[in-house]
Amino acid sequence: MSETVIKCESVYKIFGENAKKMLEESNGNVDAKTFQEKGCIVGVNNASFEVAKGEMLVVMGLSGSGKSTLLRCISRLTDATGGKIFIEGQDLLELNNKELIELRRSKMGMVFQSFALLPHKTVVENIAFPLQIKGTKTEDSINRAMEMVKLVGLDGRENYFPRELSGGQQQRVGIARSLAVEPDIWFLDEPFSALDPLIRKEMQDEFLRLQEKLQKTIMFITHDFDEALKLADRIAIMKDGIIEQLDTPANIVLNPATEYVRKFTEEVPREKVLVIEDVMDTTSNDNLGDLKVLKDEIIENVAEKILTQEKIVAVVDSENNIVGSIKPSKIIDTVFGGRKNGS
Amino acid sequence: MEYLKKYPKLFQWLFLLVVFFALCFAIDVPETYKFIRGQAEFVKDPNQSVYFFLGKEVRYYAFDVFWRLPPLLGWLPIWINDSLFFLMNEWMPMEFWNEDTQEFKTRPILLQISRNLTAFMTFLIELIREILLGGLETIVAFTSWDFIDAYPWLELPGLPWTIVAAGAAILSYKLSGKGLALFAGLTMIYISIFGQWKPSMQTLSFILVAAPLSFIFGLGLGIAAYKSKRVEKALYPILLVMQTMPQYAVLVPALVLFGVGDHAAVIITMVVAVPPMILLTILGLRAIPSEVIEAGRMSGCTNWQLMLKVLIPTARRDILIGVNQVIMVCFSMAVISAFIGAKGLGFNLLLALNQLNIGLALEAGLCISLIAILLDKMSLAWANKQTDYFGNLTFFQRNKNVIFFAASFVIGIILAYVGTFIFKGSFNYLFEIPHNKGISTADFWNKGVDWIFDTFFVYIKAFNTWLIQDVLQPMRALYLRMPAVATLVLAVGAGYLIGGIRSALVVAALTLFIALSPWWDRALVTLYMATFGVVISCLIGFTVGTLCFQNKKSAAFMLGVCDIFQTFPSFVYLIPVMMLFGITDTSVLIAVIVYATIPATRYTIEGLRSVPVGLHEAATMSGVNKLQRLTKIEFPLAFPHMMLGINQTIVFALFMVIIGAFIGTEDLGQYILKALSDKNGAGIGLTLGICVAFIGLIFDNLIRTWVEKRKKHLGIA
């Protein structure tokens, strides 16, 4: 495992008066209902996880599940009620205001659901804003902003005002703004939720392209399970402030930890999510056919080839070493079977 | 019974009215009662009753308590006077160094503060005034009179009017473009050749001090209130009262605290102009989406940066409306504060009105309105300006405005110099056209007025007589016939039916204050004039607004007209009505109607506009015709917003009624005007002002509560 960038240790966020006192009295055993009776609302309940450098962690949950609150604790837009958060080993909650501002100016970028562009500034001014706040010279910041304009494909619209852009274009500005200071950590709070489906798909693809190029450490919030599966290295599924399961997309689909998680996975077309490696047989098998498939191949793409075989198909890695095998029947089983009882 | 269950509210209202009228008929008019009689004045009349409170003797005419409540608050003005006197002259004496006499002097602290503030304001005003007009006060302020005697050439010469005109045009061009530049240039030239230069520049210097100061204070306090709940809670009641307090009323205490002159006018203008600025700042800041604030924080803003670069610009729309209001109030006050000795156009306007020289008044009024519109447009353009980063500009292009100004500066000076040769022995028209030595159209207007009078005298008089005898007098009599208790029951009952016990209590407290003050009768007269004005204004406003709304262009046009009319200082409205109707109640009422129609029209159009498009389409698809759509869909939905318009209409009407005292009315305003020339007027003026403010607040409370409930009911809150 490469170096850890974000680390949370039993983070709590509880809204309401006396929240801190009540949390201490509860000894870390927080029950949302009893808290609610006393006028407190539990936003995040005992969240612990790590995000490695260059990894994309997607936090998935329905509205009110506390996912945005968790993100705001980690960006310290709101102060966590309890627990510890480390950013590159620095204790976030110990930082004073000045250090926090310095951290945000150099290391963090954030994209918002409703874009949150400054209405009085043009596209290029919006993107240059974090740089100008830092004190970069106007000329340099504008030049850098123009690069970002090109990166997100908004050339020719740099002098438009946000109100003159479509939703997708506005979010491109938001993305460009969050990247202008070249942050290491990138927070995205439901960035594509306000966009219509076609644009959303386009933006997701674009986002993946950007991430391939930039390799940021990312926390991505969404309420869309498909989006989470498509983008994530790992997914954290939240419900009522509690992280129900945190795992790779494949493991979540194959082994949902709770009933709640299973509900999401039921409707997922597995052949589109899983790769061969997730379902192959790793025990050695001599009775292999001629066909070889790569272990990283998504099932959907090779299913037809495998299903036309009668023999067991060999699975190889990128260096053509055999790492496992897969029976054609296993494909059918994965696609159609075992959904209700969960394999 | 069935109806009773179906419309319970209706029956509650009916019941309230029945009680009200029953009380009106049950309580007889006392025989000794005469319409409007001075109360709580120090006239030794053996028929008066006397009581003592806090050592103050209050004399009043006693009536049956049901008919008129005794003026138990009669001591309040006297007490305010005494307190003010004590604070100014006796409270906390301290030693202060006196620069002129070079010795320590003992002075009460408040007096010292007031003097210092006064000196500072005077300095600011004089500085700007002398740049524009010339003079030596500024130089003296830095040095001494002896110094200026030794070097008389140090006196500031003042700018030739050509340079100021060119400067205004160039600045307008830089801010907005050709249109505004042309307007600015023409305005300045008009002012100059019509001989209004000096008073205009005096007024301008007053505004250029008062408006920015009000803006800064309003913004600052607004931000403080946004940041701290405690500050907001402390400010809110003051803001509320100031919103409906007539501007006349604050003049009187200002006289006591700051004396007479431009400086007092500036301070008092700030007192009036700051509250709306605060309210709009808070409103704007509150409306910012939380994500925008978070975006600012995540960009690494410090608190200052967040405020200056994110919050204030994002709340720009509301803050701009605030600036607009500030400018409007400043110009309004520029005229009104002529009562306490402010120089400039306002003074000339008042003088001309006093002499019934309508032509002169019209010219001064036109000048002040033109300057008001110009500054209003310039401030708007300034806020909307954007920078261009990509223009590869040459040195000339980048600095062309400065170069043009420098050029016009030189040309202006050369012209002024040449002028000394051309106009030898007379006035140098290329430097400054002296007051009343320019072209004057006053005679033309005066002749016009005379002509109108001669030609239409019969009709105007007939209309006037009819209105006063058949409408106004009976209406006034009806209002005065209301026993105090009945009025109280009506007001409190209405409060209870609209907003429950809370509203009832608020309304009761406000009404009681007026009823227990010595001016209940006067308040009723104010109320009658305001009601008459508001009813007619609303009828006109709703009709005009609805008609204009039928077409997008005419709606936009009408809103523009409202904008311009709103910029006129309120006093200006008195000029044309005095032209037509002379010095009568009719004049005041027509001024009230014209002035109060502005908000009625504006809110009607805005309310109708705010009806969602989806509903229009749904209505059209249900096959309604235009009239049905208007009555069944647009009016019900727009009504809450239109009610807010009525609220504004009431405030505007009250202001104008009070200002109408200048023409001569018999209401609260008349007493405020009297208090201005009274040595002990401060307490009376302030208490009267509070009475007027409370009348406004009663309606404000009722209407706002109703609107909120209605909006919730309709789901458009």
pLDDT tens across A275-321, in order? 888 888 877 767 777 788 888 888 888 888 888 887 888 888 888 88
Mean pLDDT, range B485-508, rounded to an integer: 92
Which pLDDT value is given to residue B42?
46
Q: How many CB atoms lie within 10 A of CB A247?
A: 18
Residue that wins the pLDDT comparison between B159 and B21: B21
Pair (A230, A153) in one structural domain: yes
| Least confident interval from A109-118, A185-194, A236-245, B352-361 | B352-361
Q: Cβ contact (<8 Å) for B305 and A118? A: no
Separation CA A257–CA B230 (nearest Å): 49
Residue A3 domain-assigned (yes or no): no
How many cross-chain Cβ pairs, A to B, lie less than 8 Å apart?
69
Cα–Cα nearest to A173, from A189, A194, A150, A195: A150
Cα–Cα nearest to A129, from A95, A178, A56: A178
Residue A21 domain-assigned (yes or no): no
Residue A173 domain-assigned (yes or no): yes
Q: Which of A116, A120, A181 is opposite residue B295, by nearest beta carbon?
A: A116
- Smallest CA–CA distance, residue A86 to chain B, in Å, is 17
Sole residue written with tokens 């989806």: B614
Which of B299, B305, B386 to substitute to test the interface with A, most A CBs within 10 Å?
A: B299
Pair (A67, A197) in one structural domain: yes
Q: Would you place residue B153 in the very low, low, confident or very high pLDDT band (cuts 50, 70, 90)?
A: low
Mean pLDDT, range B67-81, rounded to an integer: 84
Q: Which of A105, A112, A187 is opposite residue B300, by nearest beta carbon?
A: A105
Q: How many CB atoms lie within 10 A of CB A147?
A: 12
**CATH code at position A312:** 3.90.1280.20
Residues of A in contact with B298 (CB under 8 A): 75, 77, 104, 108-110, 178, 187
Dihedral, CA of residue B24, residue B28, residue B32 and residue B36, to nearest 10: 10
Pair (A191, A285) in one structural domain: no
Chain A residue with Cα closest to B312: A120
Which pLDDT value is given to residue B37?
52
Decide: A101 and B302 in contact? Cβ < 8 Å: yes
- Smallest CA–CA distance, residue B495 to chain A, in Å, is 34
Q: Cβ contact (<8 Å) for A120 and B316? A: yes
Cα–Cα nearest to A188, from A99, A75, A82: A75
Strands A41-52 and A4-15 turn out to be: antiparallel
Q: What is the pLDDT of residues A95-118, one digit of tens each?
A: 898 999 999 998 899 999 888 998
Pair (A118, A265) in one structural domain: yes
Pair (A183, A275) in one structural domain: no
Pair (A285, A202) in one structural domain: no
Q: Would you place residue A338 in the very low, low, confident or very high pLDDT band (cuts 50, 70, 90)?
A: low
Which pLDDT value is given to residue B224?
94
Mean pLDDT, range A143-157, rounded to an integer: 88
Q: How many CB atoms lie within 10 A of CB B368?
A: 30
Residues of B in contact with A124 (CB under 8 A): 389
- What is the distance between the terminal CA atoms of chain A, rounded to a whole angstrom? 28
Structure tokens of A53?
């450098």
Residue A328 domain-assigned (yes or no): yes
Q: Cβ contact (<8 Å) for A134 and B300? A: yes
Number of helices (H) and strands (E) in chain B: give both, helices first.
Answer: 32, 4
Q: What is the 3-state secondary structure (H, E, C) of chain A?
A: CCCEEEEEEEEEEEECCCHHHHHHHCCCCCCHHHHHHCCCEEEEEEEEEEEECCCEEEEEECCCCCHHHHHHHHCCCCCCCEEEEEECCEEHHHCCHHHHHHHHHHHEEEECCCCCCCCCCCHHHHHHHHHHHHCCCHHHHHHHHHHHHHHCCCCCCCCCCHHHCCHHHHHHHHHHHHHCCCCCEEEEECCCCCCCHHHHHHHHHHHHHHHHHHCCEEEEEECCHHHHHHHCCEEEEEECCEEEEEECHHHHHHCCCCHHHHHHHHCCCHHHHCEHHHHCECCCCCCEEEEEEECCCEHHHHHHHHHCCCCEEEEECCCCCEEEEECHHHHHHHHHCCCCCCC
Residue A183 domain-assigned (yes or no): yes
Residue that wins the pLDDT comparison between A85 and B551: A85
Residue that wins the pLDDT comparison between B576 and A55: A55
Last residue of a domain, one of A270, A291, A313: A270
What's the domain count of chain A?
2
- What is the distance between the terminal CA atoms of chain B, rounded to a whole angstrom? 34
Answer whether B56 touches A (CB < 8 Å). Answer: no
Answer whether B531 touches A (CB < 8 Å). Answer: no
Separation CA A146–CA A153 (nearest Å): 10
Answer whether A113 touches B (CB < 8 Å). Answer: yes
The mean predicted confidence, pLDDT, of chain B is 83
Residue B438 has pLDDT above 70, yes or no: no
Residues of A in contact with B292 (CB under 8 A): 116-118
Q: How many CB atoms lie within 10 A of CB B84?
A: 18
Structure tokens of B45?
């009349």
Last residue of a domain, one of A214, A238, A270: A270
Last residue of a domain, one of A270, A293, A311: A270
Separation CA A185–CA A216 (nearest Å): 6
Residue B614 has pLDDT above 50, yes or no: yes
Q: Cβ contact (<8 Å) for A122 and B386? A: yes
Residues of A in contact with B386 (CB under 8 A): 122
Which of A78, A92, A112, A171 to substitute to test the interface with B, most B CBs within 10 Å?
A: A112
Residue A46 domain-assigned (yes or no): no
Residue A30 domain-assigned (yes or no): no
Pair (A63, A195) in one structural domain: yes
Pair (A233, A293) in one structural domain: no
Residue B437 has pLDDT above 80, yes or no: no
Pair (A228, A327) in one structural domain: no
Mean pLDDT, range B700-706, rounded to an integer: 90
Q: Cβ contact (<8 Å) for B389 and A138? A: yes
Mean pLDDT, range A177-201, rounded to an integer: 88
Q: Cβ contact (<8 Å) for B298 and A178? A: yes
Mean pLDDT, range B455-474, rounded to an integer: 86
Separation CA A234–CA A227 (nearest Å): 12
Residue A343 has pLDDT above 50, yes or no: no
Q: Cβ contact (<8 Å) for B309 and A177? A: no
Cα–Cα nearest to B50, from B60, B65, B41, B39: B60
- Phi/psi region, residue A235 (left: phi>0; alpha: psi -120 to 50; beta: rest), is beta
Q: Domain of A300? A: 271-336
Pair (A187, A220) in one structural domain: yes
Contacts 24+ apart (CB under 8 A), B227-234: B232/B282
Pair (A100, A248) in one structural domain: yes
Sole residue written with tokens 């998504």: A298
Residue A235 has pLDDT above 90, yes or no: yes
Q: How many CB atoms lie within 10 A of CB B444?
A: 11
Residue A159 domain-assigned (yes or no): yes
Chain A residue with Cα closest to B305: A133
- Smallest CA–CA distance, residue A193 to chain B, in Å, is 15
- Smallest CA–CA distance, residue B228 to chain A, in Å, is 18
Q: Cβ contact (<8 Å) for A104 and B298? A: yes
Q: What is the pLDDT of residues A209-229, one digit of tens each?
A: 888 888 899 999 999 888 898
State how far Cα A319 lies from the chain centre.
Answer: 30
What domains appear along chain B, each with residue ranges and CATH number?
207-366 (1.10.3720.10), 529-714 (1.10.3720.10)
Mean pLDDT, range B154-166, rounded to an integer: 77
**CATH code at position A196:** 3.40.50.300
Answer whether A186 touches B (CB < 8 Å). Answer: no
The mean predicted confidence, pLDDT, of chain A is 86
Which pLDDT value is given to residue A341?
45
Mean pLDDT, range A23-27, rounded to an integer: 80
Q: How many CB atoms lie within 10 A of CB A50?
A: 16
Question: Which residues, at least 6 apart from B41, have a Cβ–Cβ distance to it below 8 Å?
Answer: B59
Cα–Cα nearest to B449, from B514, B382, B361, B323: B361
Kind plus residue range of the DSSP H or E element containing B49: strand B49-53
Answer whether A264 touches B (CB < 8 Å). Answer: no
Q: Cβ contact (<8 Å) for B298 and A118? A: no
Structure tokens of A331?
């494909």
Pair (A147, A120) in one structural domain: yes
